[in-house]
Chain A
Amino acid sequence: MPPLRTVRTVCPRNCYCTCGMLVTLDEHDRIRSIDGDPENPATGGHVCLKGLSYARRVTCADRLLTPLRRKPSGAGFDRVGWDEALGEIAARLTRVRDAHGPQAVLYYEGSGSHGALGALSMAFWRQFGGCTATYGDLCWPAGLEATRLTYGDNRHNHPALTVQSRFILLWGHNPAETNVHQWRLILDAQARGARVVVVDPRQTDSTDAADVHLQPRPGTDAALALGLARLIVEAGLHDAAFLGAHAHGFEEYRQRLDAFPIDRVSAITGLESESIRALALEYARTKPALLIAGFGLQRHSRAGQTMRTVALLPALTGNVGVAGGGWQYANLASHCLRPLPLPPEPPASRAFPVSQVARHLETLDAPPIRAAWIERGNPASQNPAAPRLRAALSRLGLLVVVDQFMTPTAELAHYVLPAKTLFEEEDLVTAYWHPYLQWRAKVLAPPGDVRPESDIWRAMCERLGFDTRYFPADRETLLRGLLPEDCACTLEDLKARPLDLSGHGDVAFADRRFPTPSGQVEFSSDEAAALWGVDPVPDYVPLDEGADAPARARYPLQLLSCKTRDRIHSQFGNLDWVREVERPHVLDIHPDDAKARGIADGSRAAVWNDRGRIELVARVTPGLRPGVVHMLEGWCHAGDPDVNALTAEGITDMNHGATFYECLVEVARA
Chain B
Amino acid sequence: MSGAGFLLDLHRCVGCGACVLACRIENDRAELAAWRRVLPLNLRRHPGGPTYFLSVACHHCEQPACLKGCPSGAYEKRADGIVVHREERCLGCRYCEMTCPFGTPRYDAARGVISKCHLCAPRVDAGRLPACVAACPTEALRLVTASTPPTGEATVRVPGFTDPASCRPSLAFLAPAGMRRAGLFRSLEEGLKR
Contact = CB atoms under 8 A, between A and B. Distances in A.
B139 to A, nearest CB: 6
Nearest to A30: B28
Interface string A551-577: 000000000000001000000000001
Interface string B13-25: 0111110111011
B25 A49 contact: no
Given A46-B137, A180-B14, A184-B138, A33 B25 contact: yes
Given A187-B138, A623-B45, A49 B16 contact: yes
A352 interface: no
7 contacts: A49-B20, A52-B22, A55-B21, A208-B45, A210-B178, A211-B179, A580-B17
Interface in A169-217: 176-177, 180-181, 183-184, 187, 190, 203, 205, 207-213
Contact of A209 (B17, B18, B177): B177
Interface stretch (A148-156, A603-611, A614-622): A614-622
Contacts of A79: none
B176 A208 contact: yes
Given A49-B21, A211-B179, A577-B21, A622 B137 contact: no
A623 B30 CA distance: 35
Contacts, number: 111
Contact of B178 (A52, A181, A211): A211
Contacts of A180: 14, 16, 137-138
Interface of A: 31-36, 45-49, 52-53, 55-56, 176-177, 180-181, 183-184, 187, 190, 203, 205, 207-213, 565, 577-578, 580-584, 588, 619-623
B135 to A, nearest CB: 6
A52 B30 CA distance: 12
B21 A46 contact: no
Nearest to B18: A49
A620 B25 CA distance: 36
A36 B43 CA distance: 29
B21 A52 contact: yes
Nearest to B48: A622
A49 B25 CA distance: 12
Q: Chain B at the A interface: mostly helix, strand, loop or mixed? A: loop
Contacts of A190: 177
A177 B138 CA distance: 11
Interface centre among B26, B131, B137 (most CB of A within 10 A): B137
Given A184-B139, A209-B178, A622 B16 contact: no
B179 A48 contact: no
A53 B131 CA distance: 14
Contacts of B26: 33
Contacts of A56: 21, 30
B134 interface: yes
Nearest to A601: B44
Given A581-B38, A619-B44, A208 B181 contact: yes
B134 A35 contact: yes
B17 A34 contact: no
A214 to B, nearest CB: 10
B45 A210 contact: no
A97 B44 CA distance: 54
Contacts of A209: 11, 176-178, 181
Contact of A55 (B17, B25, B52): B25
B25 A52 contact: yes
Given A580-B34, A622-B45, A623-B45, A208 B18 contact: no
Given A209-B11, A580-B34, A620-B44, A52 B179 contact: no
Contacts of B158: none
A205 B52 CA distance: 8
